[in-house]
Each structure stands twice: as C-alpha cells, then as structure tokens.
A and B are shown apart, each in its own frame.
Chain A
Amino acid sequence: SQQGEEDPQALSIQEGENATMNCSYKTSINNLQWYRQNSGRGLVHLILIRSNEREKHSGRLRVTLDTSKKSSSLLITASRAADTASYFCATDRSGANNLFFGTGTRLTVIP
C-alpha cells in the first residue's frame, strides 16, 4: 500500500503564480523527501526534510512538515513553464530503511 498521498492529483496554474502541493502519510517517519518527474523520465530529488525539522527552503522551493498531522507541503514560488512535471513525496518510514512514494501531483504551468 502507498505510504503517501498527494493532494491535489492535478494542478494547473499561470506562470508566475505559486503552486502548493500537499502530502499525507500514515506512520512515523525518519524523513520526508520530494521528487520531481518530467513526463516519462526518471525522478529527480528536490529536497529532504527530517522528522525534527518543520520547514526547509531550497531556491524557489519551500517544504513544511507537521509530524503531528502526518502531513507535508511543497510550495513552488513564482512558477515557470519549466516547472511543469509530476511531483512526488516519499517517506522514509521508521524501521523500514526504504522510501515509500505517494501517487503524485501533476503540475501544469501555463505560459
């Protein structure tokens, strides 16, 4: 079964707007990661947030983690057409030593 569920499943915005994607998970975790996938390509790591962290930034990306609610959000600011891709959260579940991926959010940024 999937560990993470992203919301929304699909998101369409205008270039320059911000995009927010959410991820919920079910069990305790060591860390949570976000990946990007261009259509049919391999996944690329974006950012990792540890269970004792609440917020992390990387360029135009901002990730938050609320372990009490078992949820995370990914914010992409000032979106660009090149940000069009699918975004997946992945959790390193405590004791599992593996990553469990969610179902992904398909982001379309309209020029």
Chain B
Amino acid sequence: DADVTQTPRNRITKTGKRIMLECSQTKGHDRMYWYRQDPGLGLRLIYYSFDVKDINKGEISDGYSVSRQAQAKFSLSLESAIPNQTALYFCATGTGMPTGELFFGEGSRLTVL
C-alpha cells in the first residue's frame, strides 16, 4: 500500500458543486500539505498543517478549505467549484524543521466543467 493515498484519483464535476479530496498517510508524519499543479506553473501551495490543531494558508488558498481530521488524514474542499480550479492536486507529508524531504501522493486530477 502507498504511504500517501489520495482519493479520488480522477474526478469530473460541474461548476458550483462541492468537492472533497481526501488524503491519508501511514508515514506517521505530523506535517501535511496540499499543492496544486498547473502546466507551466509548477506546484503551488494551497494549505498546510503541522498538527491536528494547526492549519495554515498557503499561496493560493482562496476558494479552498481544509480539515485535519486526524494526524493521518487531511482533506481539501472546494466549496463551489469553478473551471479555473481544474488542475492536478497533490497531498504531501513531511517532518522536520527546516523542511526536509516531502512524500507525495499520486495526485487527484480534478476537472470542473
């Protein structure tokens, strides 16, 4: 089984729908991250969490919300999806300060029509 698991792997939805992307990890890491990848723009940080009581906005948090349900679970929600949120979303985990190696899930490809 993968250390960082994302569900769903692919999702097509319509404008205005609420979408949740889920991430679970078995690595025992405290830190969890949500990144968005768009062609030509690399990865951009949406939200991150250093423990279950700590949630922080990243570079592009507008239109997104997150929930850290447990140390191992970190979900990303789009309350009302719009077409420019079509992207590949990655969850990652890590540990250490300064930031060390991140471990990525396989990604969730979201298409908003």
Chain A contact residues, CB within 8 Å of chain B: 1-2, 4, 30-31, 33, 35, 40-45, 48, 88, 90, 92, 97-104
Question: Which of A92, A98, A101 is close to B42, meaning CB atoms less than 8 Å apart?
Answer: A101
| Interface SS majority for chain B | strand
Question: Which of B42, B43, B45, B104 is close to A44, meaning CB atoms less than 8 Å apart?
Answer: B104
The B63-113 residues at the A interface (CB cut-off 8 A) are 88, 90, 92, 97-107, 109
Instruction: List 29 A-B pairs, Cβ < 8 Å.
Output: A1-B59, A2-B42, A30-B98, A30-B99, A31-B98, A31-B100, A41-B106, A42-B104, A42-B105, A42-B107, A43-B90, A45-B101, A45-B102, A45-B103, A48-B101, A90-B102, A92-B99, A97-B50, A97-B97, A98-B58, A99-B45, A99-B99, A100-B45, A101-B42, A102-B42, A103-B40, A103-B41, A103-B42, A104-B42
A101 touches B107 (CB 8 A): no
A42 touches B106 (CB 8 A): yes
Chain B contact residues, CB within 8 Å of chain A: 4, 33, 35, 40-45, 48, 50, 58-59, 88, 90, 92, 97-107, 109
Distance in Å: Cβ of A34 to nearest Cβ of chain B:
11
Closest 5 CB pairs of A and B: A30-B98, A42-B104, A101-B43, A103-B42, A92-B99
B107 touches A99 (CB 8 A): no
Question: Which of A88, A97, A102 is close to B98, meaning CB atoms less than 8 Å apart?
Answer: A97
Complex Cα gap A48–B90 (Å): 20
Complex Cα gap A45–B33 (Å): 15
